[in-house]
Amino acid sequence: MSLSIETDVDLARYNTFGFPVVARRFVRACSQAQILEAVELAGRLGQDLLVLGGGSNLVLTRDIEALVLQIATCGVRVLADDGETVLLEAEAGEPWHPFVQHTLVCGYAGLENLSLIPGTVGAAPIQNIGAYGVELKDVAVAVIAFDRLEQRVIELSADDCAFGYRDSRFKREAGRWIVLRVRFRLQRRARLNLDYGPIRQWLAGEGVEHPDAADVSRAVCAIRSEKLPDPAVLGNAGSFFKNPVVSAERADRLRNEHPGLVCFAQGDGRVKLAAGWLIERAGWKGFREGDAGVHRLQALVLVNYGHASGAQVVELARRIQADIRERFDVDLEIEPNVI
């Protein structure tokens, strides 16, 4: 066996909240062959399998009896380049932000708005990560994954992935798929998305009149750094709640009842509400109980000030959900995966 099995591993450094839960068995896979070997091992042991990427979208509430598999595969390859469009494939274990920066250094545009998002390439399609007007579905053309149900490697097109708002087939069919690689279609001639107001403001403030993709990435990094805490400094998993989407009629009623409500019209006629506005309006911004709290600058972010447990953070989230439901008759959905 080429895999090395570790026992009783502290997962604090493998999740961005820093929760010190213990994995009874832990393996690190650096190749597709090792990933498939780990799947086979879990089957032989009669254990569930918990797959970890960067641990940036995870809330661990207890010690893990399942076999924990960390995907650590690396590599980025150009599959095709016609001078205008580049087809790029990245291994699931590649850290996301360094991958984005690599594409920009190479002169490829398309991922700049997704700069500084924590996690790995393999986790990106599961959540259909998105920021500042761009989602993964806008640039991903295929995902190569191992189907644990059919026991084979399958290439899924973007349509096959059924991407939605912070959602995908992989998330809805949790436990079935292990993402191995992701293919992206990027551009040599940038088609910049500057619709998010603060990006234009930052560029103007820096005196950038004709921005390129690298400029947009710098703007996004600056904005995110100002608004969101660094997980290396303060444990968190980014936005903890999805922005709820409601009917236009419901949004109109809420606007009448709560002047100043921040919301965004969607292409299907519905309206996306700013969950952060709802939470801040309800008075939770900056709230702290023990070491579990709501960030003082961004109400969407729950944080671990040092010694909070995953269970304590989830309990705080449940209290916020109940309060928002009572005040606004709106249900907030937790974004990270709670184990």
CATH topology agreement for domains 6-71 and 76-187: no
Residue with tokens 């569930």: 48
Is 319 annotated in the active site?
A: no
CA distance 308 to 234: 11
Model confidence band, residue 2 (pLDDT cutoffs 50, 70, 90): confident
Task: Give the per-residue pLDDT at 321.
Answer: 98
Count of Cβ atoms closer than 10 Å to residue 249 Cβ: 10
Token digits of residue 328 = 């606004």
Catalytic residue among 115, 217, 239, 309: 239
Hey, CA dihedral for 237, 317, 285, 332, is it positive or negative?
positive
> Average pLDDT of the chain?
95
Whether 59 and 237 have beta carbons less than 8 Å apart is answered as: yes
- CATH (one of 3.50.50.60, 3.30.465.10, 3.10.20.440, 2.40.30.10) for 76-187: 3.30.465.10
Query: Is 300's pLDDT higher than 80?
Result: yes
| Residue ranges of domains in the chain | 6-71, 76-187, 235-338
User: Alpha-carbon distance 328 to 180, whole Å?
Assistant: 41
Look at residue 100 in the predicted model and tell me its pLDDT: 98
Residues 6+ apart with CB under 8 A from 144: 89, 153, 154, 155, 156, 179, 180, 181, 182, 183
The one-letter amino acid at 156 = L
* Burial of 320 per CB tally in 10 Å (0-12, 13-18, 19+): buried
Section 249-266 average pLDDT: 92
- Would you state the pLDDT for residue 197? 76
pLDDT by residue (tens digit) across 99-111?
A: 999 999 999 999 9
pLDDT of residue 233: 92
Q: Which fold has domain 6-71?
A: 3.30.43
* CA dist., res. 70 & res. 77, Å (int): 22
Residue 3 pLDDT class (50, 70, 90 cuts):
confident
pLDDT band of residue 1 (cuts 50, 70, 90) is: low
**166 is known as an active-site residue:** yes
Mean pLDDT of 175-200: 93
User: Which amino acid, one-letter code, is at 210?
Assistant: H
Strand order in the sheet with 292-294: 235-239, 301-304, 292-294, 288-289
The single residue of 89, 94, 112, 335 carrying the catalytic annotation is 335
- What's the average model confidence in pLDDT over 217-245? 93
157 is catalytic: no
C-alpha R_g of the chain: 20
Tell which residue, 31, 68, 30, 10, has the closest CA to residue 339: 68
Q: How many CB atoms neighbour CB 302 within 10 A?
A: 30
pLDDT at 312: 98
Average pLDDT, stretch 107-124?
Answer: 96
CATH T-level fold of 235-338: 3.90.78
**33: pLDDT strictly greater than 80:** yes
Catalytic residue, from 28, 166, 183, 281: name it: 166
